[in-house]
Structure 1
Amino acid sequence: MPTAFSFKTCATAASALLLAACAGGSAPALPELPPFSTTLAVRQAWAVHLPAGTSALPPSASGDTVTVAATDGTVIAIDALSGQERWHTRLGTALLAGTGSDGGTAAVVSAGNELIALEDGHVRWRQRLGARTYTAPLVAHGRVFVQTGDRTVSAWDASDGHRLWSKARPPDALMLGKPGVLAMAGDMLVAGVGGRLAGLSPADGGVRWEASVATPRGTDDVDRLVDLTGRISVQDHVVCARAYAA
């Protein structure tokens, strides 16, 4: 497991440096930072304004379409090049987690644990989930994938909403109410909550591999808390992830 070995080696080295710094009598002198000049000019191409008093949820970008939702139930599809709205709808219910979209079907999750699929701004179907989700849905390969807070991953047919499969994973003793990982890596569905990642078959949910990004340490559940932070990065067949360890 080269990736796990590299992670453990880096963690050990960081701990050794931290102990050495704490044991020293004086703070080490830090070198001056080299001159830095920007090499890429960035300008705002367009902006979309959400209703006042709401919060934006994590958007989804697919092809030339950006889909964004707000906590009040507003969902907007935007042309990525021009910033013009393609459609705009208000679901009339509070939303959680964020949006998932493949450019055609968009999916959101309500505060009432309802998975809602939309097409051209119209509700295509709704399905009740068994637990709350903090992770944005993923729309890919004609399916809508959802990961709930109890680490259950499920797949739903994007066209009519019938459930294709559901895979329950062992829950952790203590978990944070924050987004996990749900992404495609080639033909692999990568899902994770806490400090663990799993590669699943999008077709049937079969587990192809599972890995721990961080190892719990400590004497109680709080000390042993580990949690994935941020999004994963995929390059060829390599998945890069980071985790917080108490």
Structure 2
Amino acid sequence: MSVSRSIVLLISVLLIGACGDEDNAEPPAELTAFEQTHFLALEWSVSTDDDIGQQYIRIEPLLLKDRIVTAGRNGTLNVYTLDDGDELASITLDIALSGGVGGTEDIWLVGSRNGELVAISGESNDILWRTAVPSEILARPVVYNRKIALVRTADGQILGIDIKSGKINWNYSRTIPALTLRGSSSPILSRSHFYTGLESGRLIAVSPIDGEVIWDVALAVPQGRSEIQRLVDIDGSAELYGRILYAVSYHGRIGAIDVTRGQFLWARSFSSNTGVSVGTDAVFSSDDRSHVWALDRNNGATLWKQDKLQARGVTRPVIFQDYVVVGDALGYLHVMSRFDGRFVARIQVDSEGILVPPIVDGDRLLVLSRDGNLAAYTLKEAAMYTDEELFD
């Protein structure tokens, strides 16, 4: 690993305010009691052995129609049924994985720390091909139209790879800043283009056929004297809602872009490396202090802010029924009303912490903890129970 990338890893760990044991880190907020109107009921739980140790790597699972595929840093993929968590397969690749699982029902894609993309058959579990790429893959690969795999590498390149052969058809390259957060945002697909955020704080629209850039706009501009102050990565997930792309940067802004013109509809100051989730009326994000926000989708105005999780290293909020859910670095799931941000439920899933946002599958919530525990929950009304009665 180069010196610059080693520094990136160090800085990324230090920036997770509450997650480490550093003496100078802000302590995580103590949890406060609240009137618990709901509770998370455990449906099933399995140990995947897909732990990530002390590394700050978001290796997100792949949700399929009736299966879920997980991956660990040791190069093992595990496949489970969604209904009951039964293990269907375990696939050993003997490579150090660094990006989430991408793909379709038919083909699964994973990337390694050593710059390799591996394709696995979703039917036979056999390895279909391996392709060397310029550097480490830190983002989940995405498949366009069942023909092209779109892959982000840590050196600032985006690759278009033939899904059948593994041949690299095109590459887009841009110089990255000397210091960046550890991670990359995955491409977001539309019918004819894909959109992705860069380490420079810019958003681009690209043709998946040949890599031609359609438009390029700045969501954030580096400011400040130090390299840390000038970090403006777009690492978190963006989301497309109709023709509007919502995205957020670190030390920059959160905003809405009309993808047909590449123009901002609104933008406001914000700092986050977790990304956004978009509902019918609101866009949700967690900032770099672990405050959870709901903003008006049409103009960015604040609808509510929940600041009781400060410095707890929360994930991107996900929309689950009439609620938003975050995991935190101490292993808790927090369920809030999507309308006013009040807490309605809480449970500790795992003491090792949660880095990957919860995954919504209908009325089921799937959670992968830092040490590889995969669990499925449903949300139920708690009636007369209080927070202390349920969890003390």
Normalising by structure 2, report the TM-score.
Answer: 0.49
- Note the C-alpha offset of 1:218: 1.8
Q: Distance in 2 between matches of 1:184 and 1:62?
A: 17
Counterpart for residue 221 of structure 2: 215
Counterpart for residue 239 of structure 2: 233
Aligned residues: 211
- Greater fraction helix: 1
Counterpart for residue 153 of structure 2: 148
Distance 1:114 1:232, change over 3 A: same
- Note the C-alpha offset of 1:78: 2.9
Counterpart for residue 171 of structure 1: 176
Local SS of the residue matching 1:43: strand
Counterpart for residue 188 of structure 1: 193
The one-letter code of the counterpart of 2:214 is: R
Local SS of the residue matching 2:155: coil
- Note the C-alpha offset of 1:118: 0.4
Counterpart for residue 19 of structure 1: none
Q: Distance in 2 between matches of 1:96 and 1:202?
A: 23
The answer to whether the Cα contact below 8 Å between 2:102 and 2:110 also exists between their aligned partners in 1 is: yes
User: Which 5+ residue runs of structure 1 have no aligned equivalent?
Assistant: 1-34
Counterpart for residue 224 of structure 1: 230
Q: Distance in 1 between matches of 2:151 and 2:101?
A: 11
Q: Distance in 2 between matches of 1:37 and 1:53?
A: 31
Deviates more, 1:72-81 or 1:154-163: 72-81
Counterpart for residue 97 of structure 2: 95
Instruction: Among all aligned residue pairs of Structure 1 and Structure 2, give the percentage whose two residues are the same amino acid.
Output: 26
The answer to whether the Cα contact below 8 Å between 1:147 and 1:191 also exists between their aligned partners in 2 is: no
- Note the C-alpha offset of 1:179: 2.9
Counterpart for residue 129 of structure 2: 125
The one-letter code of the counterpart of 1:48 is: V
Q: Distance in 1 between matches of 2:106 and 2:83?
A: 17
Q: Distance in 2 between matches of 1:84 and 1:36?
A: 35
Q: Distance in 2 between matches of 1:213 and 1:136?
A: 22
Counterpart for residue 82 of structure 2: 80
The answer to whether the Cα contact below 8 Å between 1:97 and 1:179 also exists between their aligned partners in 2 is: no
Deviates more, 1:115-124 or 1:179-188: 179-188
Counterpart for residue 115 of structure 2: 113
User: Which 5+ residue runs of structure 2 have no aligned equivalent?
Assistant: 1-33, 253-392
Deviates more, 1:189-198 or 1:76-85: 76-85
The answer to whether the Cα contact below 8 Å between 2:50 and 2:70 also exists between their aligned partners in 1 is: no
The answer to whether the Cα contact below 8 Å between 1:102 and 1:140 also exists between their aligned partners in 2 is: no
Distance 1:117 1:224, change over 3 A: same
Q: Distance in 2 between matches of 1:126 and 1:196?
A: 31
> RMSD of the alignment, in Å?
2.4
- Note the C-alpha offset of 1:220: 4.1
Deviates more, 1:107-116 or 1:172-181: 172-181
Local SS of the residue matching 1:231: coil
- Larger RCO, structure (CA 8 Å, separation 6 or more): 2
Pick from 133, 139, 142: which aligns with 1:138? 142
Local SS of the residue matching 1:170: coil
Counterpart for residue 340 of structure 2: none
Distance 1:181 1:196, change over 3 A: farther
- Note the C-alpha offset of 1:77: 2.7
Once the two structures are superposed, what CA deviation does each residue of 1:169-218 show, in whole Å capped at 9, x if it has no partner? Answer: 23224222223232213432112222122111111111112222222112
Q: Distance in 2 between matches of 1:218 and 1:77?
A: 46
Q: Which has the larger radius of gyration?
A: 1
